[in-house]
Structure 1
Amino acid sequence: MKHHALLSRTLFVVLAVALLAILANRFSALGGALAVLRRITPGQVLALLLMAAALGTDAMSLAIGIGLRGISWREGIRVSLVIGLFHIIMPLIGTAVGGYFSKLAGGIAQVTGAAIVAIIGIRMVWGCLTSEGTTQASQCKLTGLSLLLLALSVSIDALSVGLGLGALGYNVYLTSVLFGVFGAGMTAVGLFLGKKIGSLVGNYGELLGGGVLIILALKLFLEGELFYR
């Protein structure tokens, strides 16, 4: 377990450093960033906001399901930040690696993430039905590689979006940051709503949350399968 935690932290640091390096290289000066902002039209701003909200829906659905089982504020912050980071990185990767590779890698990651979401959901439902909800919930902590794979699975759509942003004349770097802000924000809102609903429905919150996660896992799996067709 300690090795997994160390590996996940190392991967997270590497991803964060790589992201900062990319952004620093692109926006080497504040004037350059402001120049990019001045070139964005109101229509593009609206389109980007709608796109960012659409990309954050899977993350919000996942967060609601997790919030229903109960989550600490520390864990909630960690989950939100990791998902937000992946929403920033994935469009950049999609732009860099091209179409075929991003679809292949995206499909594999999404199916893997869907399996993890399904396992968590099934364990939550089983724990509630067998009156072991508290024990099962404590075993479903989102840490290490499981958290990274979950964040990856709900950020896959941003991978393919990155392919078309540059061709449409959008600034990929600035757009990726916007996606990250929305991804983290919608995750935090989902966790809050899930936790509030869970406190109202009591023991049924874990059952409801497990059902939400299982449905989301099925959706992610079917979308991942489409990458291979």
Structure 2
Amino acid sequence: MVAEFITIGIMALALSLDAFSLSLGLGMAGLRYRRIFIIGSLIGLFHMLMPLGGIIIGQALSHYLGPLTYFIGGSGLIFLGIQMLASSFKYGADSLLAPKGIGLFIFAISVSVDSFSAGLSLGMVGAKTWLTVISFGVISAILTWIGLLVGKKAGGWVGKNSEGVGGIILILFGVKMIMGAV
């Protein structure tokens, strides 16, 4: 149980790093503290809903795919990690949507989509649903708040680098998952 808690916590941290990195830039827009609270809370909620959907679908698929699920789940994490790592090398004008109304929902969904994929992988291998969902939500909300607050005060180079670190962590967990099935 402790090992799974640590694993899920580290994965939640890795998946929340993209929300953190984008929040750094968004925080430079001089948001008010109430808006910062709303943005972090919404991103935390989406980081709970997306993996929950993924876990439910992943659990259903695991009945049909049997032992192959560890390979598929691990491969999914590796693919997701590679995408995050590659994204961290793309420097350019990130189009930040206005952090209110429909723009806020699009922002929350865009930084939570990877949690759906991770949830799908974790659902296939039977991860504890509530541990995963709550960890993903709480950690992403906290990292979003930190990113917005740091961005409000400073900004800087950390943003893209944190997404690359998250990608590497997911790749390592994917390899571990596949190796554990062998």
- Aligned ranges 1:21-170 → 2 under 5 Å: 41-97=1-57, 118-120=94-96, 141-170=98-127
Distance 2:149 2:109 in 1: 21
Q: 1:62 to 1:43 in 2, by over 3 A?
A: same
In structure 2, the partner of 1:184 is: 141
Letter aligned with residue 178 of structure 1: S
* Contact 2:19/2:143 (<8 A) preserved: yes
Q: Distance between the aligned counterparts of 1:76 and 1:84, measured in 2?
A: 12
Deviation at 1:61, TM superposition (A): 0.6
How much does 1:161 deviate?
0.9
Aligned to 1:221: none
Q: Is the 8 Å Cα contact of residues 44 and 137 (structure 2) preserved in structure 1?
A: yes
Paired AA for residue 160 in structure 1: S
Computing the radius of gyration over CA atoms, which structure comes out larger, 1 or 2? 1
List runs of 5+ in structure 1 lacking aligned partners.
Answer: 1-40, 104-116, 121-139, 199-207, 217-229
TM norm structure 2? 0.63
Q: Could you state the TM-score of these two structures normalised by the residue count of structure 1?
A: 0.51
Q: How many residues align?
A: 128
**Does the CA contact (< 8 Å) of 2:5 and 2:131 recur in 1?**
no
After the TM superposition, which parts of structure 1 deviate over 4 Å for at least 4 consecutive aligned residues? Answer: none
Give 1:193's aligned residue: 150
1:18-48 deviations in Å (ceiling 9; x for gaps):
xxxxxxxxxxxxxxxxxxxxxxx22111111
- Relative contact order (C-alpha < 8 Å, sep 6+): which is higher? 2
SS across alignment from 1:154: helix
The CA distance in 1 between the partners of 2:5 and 2:55, in whole Å, is 20
Which sections of structure 2, spanning at least 5 residues, go unmatched?
Answer: 62-75, 77-92, 164-182
Q: CA RMSD in A?
A: 2.5
Q: CA deviation at 1:141?
A: 4.0
